[in-house]
Amino acid sequence: MIVLGYNGFTRGAELFGKLYGATGVDRNLLVGHDAAAALVIDGELVAAVEEERLSRVKKTSDFPVHAINWCLDSAGVELDQVDVFAFPWRFSSTVGEQMISQICDTDLTVPAKFDALRRTGELYTGMLSPEAVYDDFVRRTGHELDPNRLALVPHHLAHLMCGAYLAGGGDAAFLVSDGRAETLSAVMGELRNGVVRLFDDSAVDMTSSLGVAYGRITRYLGFVPNNDEYKVMGLAAYGPPPGHNPLLERVVRLHENGSYTLSVPRDRDAYYALFDDLFGGDSEKREEFDFRVKVAGFAQHMVEAVTAHQLRALTAASDLDDLLFEGGLALNCVANTKMLERSSFTGMDVSFGASDPGVAIGAAVYTAGLRNRPAGAVTTPYLGPSYGEQHTLDALAEYADRVEWQEEPDATSAADRTAELLAQKNVVGWFQGRTEFGPRALGNRSILANPAFPDIKDIINVRVKHREPFRPFAPVVLASEAPRVFEMGKKTSSPYMTFVFPVREEYRERIPGACHVDGTARVQTVDERQNPALTQLLRAFTARTDVPCLLNTSFNVAGEPIVCSPRDALECFLATEIDYLVIDRFVVTKRHR
For residues 29 and 87, membership in a common domain is answered with: yes
> What integer pLDDT is reported at residue 25 of this predicted model?
57
CATH assignment of the domain containing 586: 3.90.870.20
- Cβ neighbours of residue 427 closer than 8 Å, sequence gap 6 or more: 447, 448, 449, 456, 459, 460, 463, 464, 577, 578, 579, 580
> What integer pLDDT is reported at residue 26 of this predicted model?
64
For residues 134 and 232, membership in a common domain is answered with: no
Q: Which of 345, 352, 238, 256 is nearest to 300 (CA)?
A: 238
Residue 311 within any structural domain of the chain: yes
d(CA 266, CA 212): 9
Q: Which of 381, 379, 515 is nearest to 446 (CA)?
A: 381
> What integer pLDDT is reported at residue 29 of this predicted model?
61
For residues 245 and 181, membership in a common domain is answered with: yes
The pLDDT tens digits for 293-339 are 999 999 999 999 999 999 999 999 999 999 999 999 999 999 999 99
Q: Is 588 helix (H, G, I), strand (E, B) or coil?
A: strand
CATH assignment of the domain containing 297: 3.30.420.40
Cα 345–chain centre separation: 23
Q: Which of 300, 261, 224, 230 is nearest to 33 (CA)?
A: 224
Length of the chain: 593
Compute the radius of gyration of the chain from its Cα atoms.
23
Residue at which a domain ends, from 117, 152, 187: 152
> What integer pLDDT is reported at residue 412 of this predicted model?
96
Residue 48 within any structural domain of the chain: yes
Residue 163 within any structural domain of the chain: no
For residues 229 and 191, membership in a common domain is answered with: yes
pLDDT at 484 over 60: yes
- Cβ neighbours of residue 21 closer than 8 Å, sequence gap 6 or more: none
E-assigned strand segments in 55-98: 84-87
In contact, 207 and 263? CB cutoff 8 Å: no
For residues 143 and 28, membership in a common domain is answered with: yes
d(CA 568, CA 555): 10
The pLDDT tens digits for 146-201 are 999 999 999 999 999 999 999 988 899 999 999 999 999 999 999 998 899 999 99
The pLDDT tens digits for 401-421 are 999 999 999 999 999 999 999
For residues 45 and 83, membership in a common domain is answered with: yes
Domain count of the fold of the chain: 3
pLDDT at 40 over 60: yes
Residue 370 within any structural domain of the chain: no
d(CA 147, CA 85): 10
> What integer pLDDT is reported at residue 370 of this predicted model?
72
Mean pLDDT of the chain: 94
Residue 366 within any structural domain of the chain: no
Residue at which a domain ends, from 122, 152, 182: 152
E-assigned strand segments in 344-402: 347-349
Residue 358 within any structural domain of the chain: no
pLDDT at 350 over 70: yes
Residue at which a domain ends, from 298, 331, 351: 351
Domain housing 505: 389-590
pLDDT at 284 over 80: yes
For residues 175 and 238, membership in a common domain is answered with: yes
Residue 44 within any structural domain of the chain: yes
Mean pLDDT of 73-78: 98
For residues 269 and 181, membership in a common domain is answered with: yes
Mean pLDDT of 504-529: 95
For residues 174 and 147, membership in a common domain is answered with: no
Report the amino acid identity of residue 491. Answer: K
For residues 571 and 468, membership in a common domain is answered with: yes
For residues 103 and 185, membership in a common domain is answered with: no
In contact, 65 and 44? CB cutoff 8 Å: no
The H-or-E segment that residue 184 falls in is: strand 184-192
pLDDT at 340 over 90: yes
Mean pLDDT of 259-268: 92
C-alpha distances out from residue 482 to 14, 174, 486, 525, 589, Å = 47, 27, 6, 7, 32
Angle at 501 between CA 204 and CA 213, to 5 degrees: 25
pLDDT at 35 over 60: yes
In contact, 206 and 185? CB cutoff 8 Å: yes
| pTM given for the model | 0.95
> What integer pLDDT is reported at residue 373 of this predicted model?
59
Mean pLDDT of 80-87: 97
For residues 121 and 172, membership in a common domain is answered with: no
From the number of C-beta atoms within 10 Å of its C-beta (0-12, 13-18, 19+), residue 256 rates as exposed
Report the amino acid identity of residue 25. Answer: V
The pLDDT tens digits for 11-34 are 998 998 888 887 665 665 678 899
DSSP per-residue string spanning 475-539: EEEETTTHHHHB--TT-S--TTS--EEEBPHHHHTTSGGG--TTSEEE-EEE-TTT-HHHHHHHH
Mean pLDDT of 385-404: 97
| Least confident residue range of 418-432, 467-481, 558-572 | 467-481
pLDDT at 561 over 60: yes
Q: Which of 95, 153, 159 is nearest to 129 (CA)?
A: 95
The H-or-E segment that residue 235 falls in is: helix 229-236
d(CA 197, CA 353): 22
> What integer pLDDT is reported at residue 111 of this predicted model?
95
Residue 158 within any structural domain of the chain: no
